[in-house]
Structure 1
């Protein structure tokens, strides 16, 4: 069996995502690997697929019970025998699981790191052939990672005690260069293939708000995401309880999750969320690592996390099935102070010595500063995150709250001089809030006791607290001010500040214009929209969801384990009528075809009969192009199969749509398939929201929309005898996207 055949058989996918094939091939060649792949990029397939092809057992070290339970359940549904070993098993269940494993009944065994050196488990590991040891969430082994776990230090000791060293593979979603070096060294990876696939999750929409009333902002956001699953992260247990109670009072379906709840209640709440019995999980960061729920449509951070690594990992739990999803951060200055307190009073961190404690706290404060910069920047949010992880993205993504916000450039030199002068007169001894209070002439008791009301800068600013805070953050990011590390950060001037004070440097910054609540709701609804169900088939989608829920209840598994939302959408697009056609649906492998195919095919056939739907397109690799029935008022279309589409040559340079259409049609004609014009290609891109029609120079023209910009479509100005004009150019990634959807474009042509 080839790896492509295994991918389709067990996971139902026709092609690999970026980096998967390279890592899998390296593992099957006997190489150690380290894969850095963002949440939702398909890390699990990189070790689960090789496990099906190895002769021995693959051990997967995983930090959370919830991950084991979900992934083992999904593997069994896909026809891959698997089990887990953790504290939820009774001694008798543990012995049974190990006995079955020794008798070759499992291909994968998930195990908690604390169990590795337990005598019974170690004896088992020495008695069987372990072909691979996979370390999931590998950043946990490094004290420089955002989620260091001392129990991960047992992994190298475990490997050393095995009779024969297995292949070692390690995976994580977020790791800086230093953490990557730590993983390789601490796990003693041998000449590993190290692959960083890129951190961009194009289906995620990032937004930051700094509302006066967080609860109202959260409620407004949730109103735009009714009947969708999502997570609301809070910094403390108390906030979790308060937010959860208020959401339920306002009519939302929410459950709490934090380490202070009894185990039974916490696990019950988690299951309610996984099985879609509740819509929203209000939680601390104790929830989520390894949660494999594919239909999370949004993640809201009610409080700012303490570092970008944590934020991006938590936000990445949205849109794991590839659907559009929204990631909202509700920021306030109090979040910074809360995180400073958490850094100083961390209960789950054990420092080996005072110097290590000092270094790690300095690291945490630097990370908090970067997180604060993210929360206050007016630049592209996606670009900020990608630059943090070492990438060099364009400065405009067209798919985040800042790129969608209208800004005006304002000269803030005078206001900056007031702020810097005030910091100097306060002898660089106080934080931002007190500086703002002095500038605004606050009559607070503390200011009077400190004598700050006698300063020349007292009451010299009429700007709002929000504006002054924004300018202060701008001065910090621009290098004119700096914050001291520590719980009580104070503002200090840098040497560059003199240029502002003496007027040799003028400062301009972007300030956001006010957005109406209606525009926010429109953006939220767009950001959270799922992959499109074809018009007129919404009822079928609901029927398929109901059938999935019924099967999930029978099997005792979450609904997304049966099929993801993306699979249901693809069923609505393809309308498969036979097992071979059903097998071509995204996410359908042989095991799921055998288990569920007949029931879903009956439901689809019933819908088609009730709605007199006869004509559907096929994309079966094994079939030859077939002529579709000709209905009155419709164009006769001959569709290509996947093998034909693979012959289309993709240019590595950005090209106009006309050149791409020429390359596509050259192949389609060779196989007697219907062709498609550049105009129709553009029309389909407009219909799918990748291009938009605007009035430009007294004419209507197509320009890249937000989705198109995220796809990489760009505009270039050119000159002709008639004057200047703009042309859309499509890079290799956008060309491949269009080629992959040629059948959809032909179907669009047929209906138009």
Structure 2
């Protein structure tokens, strides 16, 4: 069976995506590979297709139980023999899987890295032919990556212990040059074919918002998504608890996930989200790696992450099936201070590194935080900024991010700049420097006790911007700092200082212009009368999919992705052969589901006779 037939018969696709075919060809030819492909680009197919074709078993090393279960469910539904070995199995399930595995009944076996050195695994690999070892989330092997896992360091030793060295394939969504080198070296890849497919996800809409009230903005965004599901990322466990409780109290279908919960609750909450029993997952960054839920329509970051690598990976969990999805960041200046604190704390807690390594990592993490902050405040194209960060070339206008769509306009802030710089200068004359909050309080004429005790209410700049919103002054200070007219230190308690350029504003009175987002009217929600006939069909198909998934006890997207349902709305298949033309429908799924879906579509067409096929 050739690769295209495997792709079509098992996975229901007619052609490969960018990069997939090259990686598959190198694996089939017996070579090691390293594939760096963004979330949703189809990494799994790059090892699943050759695994079906190779003579022997493929061991897939995966960091998370949820990923294994989802992948195995999808493979079994497609007609591929697969299983997973992890701590979620009951004793009788475990012995059954191991018994069948030793008899060579599976083409793919998913294994947690912690299980590689057990006696059961040694017995298994000595009784079957291992054709390939695949390492998913391969960046976990590098301490310079954002998700380092010490258990990954034992993978190379496991591969060396096998009776015969198999093909080794490694995949990840994001990796810097340093991490790439670590992957090749620490996993023992032999002259691997390395491919980076590019980081652009055309179906994702990126936006950065700077709301006065984050929670009010979150509710506004969630209301706009209707019954669609998504993830809300928070910076801390405490934030997760607070936001999840508020959402549930306000009538939203939400659950929570963070490392402080008991294992049983984490698993239950995750399954509620995966199986669409809960619409919204509120979580820390502990949630999501390897989650193969294809119908996530939005990812909202309630707080700014520590680095662009983490943001891109987390945001990329939206729209995995290629459907349009939104990635929204709610930025607040306090996020920068909180992340700085967490970076410092992680350095103190990391006892596995030398003092020199700690300093190197601290410097690296602070630079990454700076880059993330610049992304959050840039007036340029968000997609271009992100792609350039990862080394991709991109146009300066993408047309699919908030900065490009809403646009910016130049606003003269010359007078405000003079007031701000003058205030910093007057505070300095008192022999002190303070952070943004104190400068803003002086400018707005605050009467807080500390300000008064310091005598700052006697400064000539006290209250000269009392009618200007705090958010506006803060944005202007950030702009002046990012352009060198002021300096914001990187200390644990950052302060605003003067620079050589500050004098140009006060003495030379140079003009200062700042780009601010244009105000756009709020979009209106569609009424029932405005919903198209095909939207109604899509809802019917989703309902049928949910029923079948519930009966099979699998997540809805394992039956069909939203993209497949939309293709059904486009093609309107009413026969088995027509159903095979739907993207994502393979031979096994057509045999299993074509009758019920075609019957529903036929009934829909009968009730809407004016709706023609292939409109």
**Secondary structure of 1:174's match?**
coil
Deviation at 1:373, TM superposition (A): 1.5
- Are residues 62 and 450 of structure 1, via their aligned partners in 2, closer, same or farther at CA, if it must alter by over 3 Å? farther
Distance 1:477-1:394 versus aligned 2 partners, 3 A rule: farther
Following TM superposition, by how much is the alpha carbon of 1:489 offset from its aligned partner in structure 2, in angstroms? 2.8
- Partner Cα separation in structure 2 for residue 486 and residue 326 of structure 1: 34
- Give matches, 1:255-270, under 5 Å: 255-270=255-270
- Deviation for aligned residue 1:538: 3.4
2:306 matched residue in structure 1:
306
* Partner SS, residue 402 of structure 1: helix
Aligned twin of 1:624:
none
1:473 aligned residue: 478
Structure 2 CA distance for partners of 1:254 and 1:587, relative to 1, 3 Å: same
Q: Distance in 2 between matches of 1:540 and 1:71?
A: 28
TM-aligned CA distance change 1:166 to 1:251, over 3 Å: same
> Residues of 2 paired with 1:550 and 1:348: CA distance?
48
The match for 1:690 is: none
**Counterpart-to-counterpart distance in 2, 1:428 and 1:365:** 25
Name the SS of the counterpart of 2:248 in structure 1. Answer: helix
Which residue of structure 2 lines up, in the alignment, with residue 124 of structure 1? 124
Q: What is the aligned partner in structure 2 of residue 719 from structure 1?
A: none
Matches for 1:252-651 after TM superposition, within 5 Å: 252-346=252-346, 349-423=350-424, 425-426=427-428, 429-453=433-457, 457-462=461-466, 463-493=468-498, 503=508, 506-516=511-521, 518-519=522-523, 535-612=532-609, 616=613
The aligned residue for residue 241 of structure 1 is 241
8 Å contact from structure 2 (residues 2, 53) kept in 1: no
Q: 1:421 to 1:551 in 2, by over 3 A?
A: same
Write out per-residue CA displacement over residues 373-412 of structure 1, whole angstroms, 9 at most, x where no aligned residue: 1222222111121121122211111111122224221233
SS in 1 for 2:358: helix
2 CA distance for matches of 1:117 and 1:497?
A: 62
Shift of 1:453: 4.5
Residues 155-164 or 134-143, more deviating: 155-164
Shift in CA distance, 595/358, structure 1 to aligned 2, threshold 3 Å? same
Q: 1:3-14 alignment to 2 at 5 Å?
A: 3-14=3-14
Structure 2: state its 5+ residue gaps.
Answer: none
Deviates more, 1:7-16 or 1:500-509: 500-509
Deviation at 1:280, TM superposition (A): 1.0
User: Is the contact made by 2:212 and 2:471 (CA closer than 8 Å) also made in structure 1?
Assistant: no
Contact 2:206 2:402 in 1 (8 A): yes
Structure 2: how far apart are the matches of 1:301 and 1:475? 26
Residues 55-104 of structure 1: per-residue CA shift (max 9 Å, x gap): 11111111111111111111111111111111112344333322211211
Seen in structure 2, the aligned counterparts of structure 1 residues 145 and 476 have a Cα distance that, compared at 3 Å, is farther
Residue of structure 1 equivalent to 2:199: 199
C-alpha contact 1:373 1:473 (8 A) present in aligned 2: no
CA spacing shift, 1:534–1:321, aligned 2, 3 Å: farther
**Residue 659 of structure 1 aligns with which residue?**
none
d(CA) in 2 for partners of 1:134 and 1:28? 13
Measure the CA separation in 2 of the matches of 1:36 and 1:496: 43
Q: Distance in 1 between matches of 2:423 and 2:173?
A: 43
Contact preservation (8 Å) 2:231, 2:282: yes
Superposition deviation, residue 437 in structure 1: 2.6
TM-fit CA distance, 1:492: 4.2
Give the whole-Å Cα distance in 2 for the aligned partners of 1:345 and 1:614. Answer: 61
SS in 2 for 1:292: coil
User: CA-to-partner distance for each residue in 1:238-270, whole Å, 9 max, x for gaps?
Assistant: 221221222122221111222222222221121
What is the RMSD of the two structures over their aligned residues, measured on CA atoms?
2.5
Q: 1:407 to 1:452 in 2, by over 3 A?
A: same
Matched, 1:46 2:56: no
Work out whether residues 59 and 133 of structure 1, in 8 Å CA contact, stay in contact via their aligned partners in 2: yes
1:362, 1:485 within 8 Å by CA — same for their partners in 2? no
The answer (yes or no) to whether the contact 2:103–2:128 under 8 Å persists in 1 is no
- In structure 2, the residue corresponding to 1:83 is in which secondary structure? strand
Q: For 2:488 and 2:153, locate their aligned partners in 1 and report how far apart those are by CA, in whole Å.
A: 35
Relative to the length of structure 1, the TM-score reads 0.76
Cα gap change, 1:453/1:174 in structure 2, threshold over 3 Å: closer, same or farther? farther
Q: How far apart, CA to CA, are the structure 2 residues paired with 1:560 and 1:138?
A: 25
Residues 491 and 151 (structure 1), Cα distance of their counterparts in 2 relative to 1, 3 Å cut: farther
Cα distance in 2, alignment partners of residues 111 and 197 from structure 1? 26
Aligned residues of 1:428 and 1:491 also touching (Cα < 8 A): no
The TM-score normalised by the length of structure 2 is 0.92
Distance 1:495 1:192 in 2: 51
